[in-house]
Amino acid sequence: MSDPNDRNKQVIAEFRANGGQVGGFFTDKPLLLLHTVGAKSGQPRVNPLVYMADGDRYIIIASKGGAPAHPDWYHNIVANPHVSIEVGTEQLDVTASIADEPERSEIYAKIAAKYDFFAEYARKVTTRVIPVIILTPR
């Protein structure tokens, strides 16, 4: 299963079937489902993402696995920051904001220390700064 959309569908189904728990790469990692509206299409989109809790906020990283371009969902939240998330069995309305420096670097360092794959993504990316997104409940 090499198509990212197929992988995401499988992860989303597993997430919902198991109250937010997913195996494989996501074993022992907190995962949420980000609901956005396509910036161009206007269609609903759902993306599974590793997150870090920060008080009542949720932090996600627009890493796209270290790719040179931002993930599509990043453009969706820029176009419409009023999104929702599923965390466990709960759905929350949140507002997405892009962290500015120095907060971006501070948060990225914390999450990269906890999940080394984020540190690796940052090393791979040379043409963009990986955005840190703060999701604040509304």
Q: What is the pTM of this model?
A: 0.93
Q: What is the CATH number of the domain that holds 13?
A: 2.30.110.10
pLDDT at 85 over 90: yes
- By percentage, how much of the chain surpasses pLDDT 70? 97
Mapped onto helix, strand or coil, the DSSP state of residue 39 is: coil
What is the reported pLDDT for 18? Answer: 96
Residue 80 is predicted with a pLDDT of 96
Task: Give the amino acid at 30.
Answer: P
Instruction: Give me the half-sphere count of Cα atoms (radius 13 Å) on the Cβ side of residue 42.
Output: 0
**70 contacts 131 by C-beta, under 8 angstroms:** yes
Q: Is pLDDT at 21 greater than 50 in this prediction?
A: yes
**Block residue for tokens 């189904």:** 13
pLDDT attached to residue 111: 96
Domain residue limits at 35: 4-137
- pLDDT band of residue 5 (cuts 50, 70, 90) is confident
List the single range of 29-43, 86-100, 111-125 with lowest mean pLDDT.
111-125
Q: How far apart are CA 72 and CA 75, in angstroms?
A: 5
Instruction: Give the chain's domain count.
Output: 1
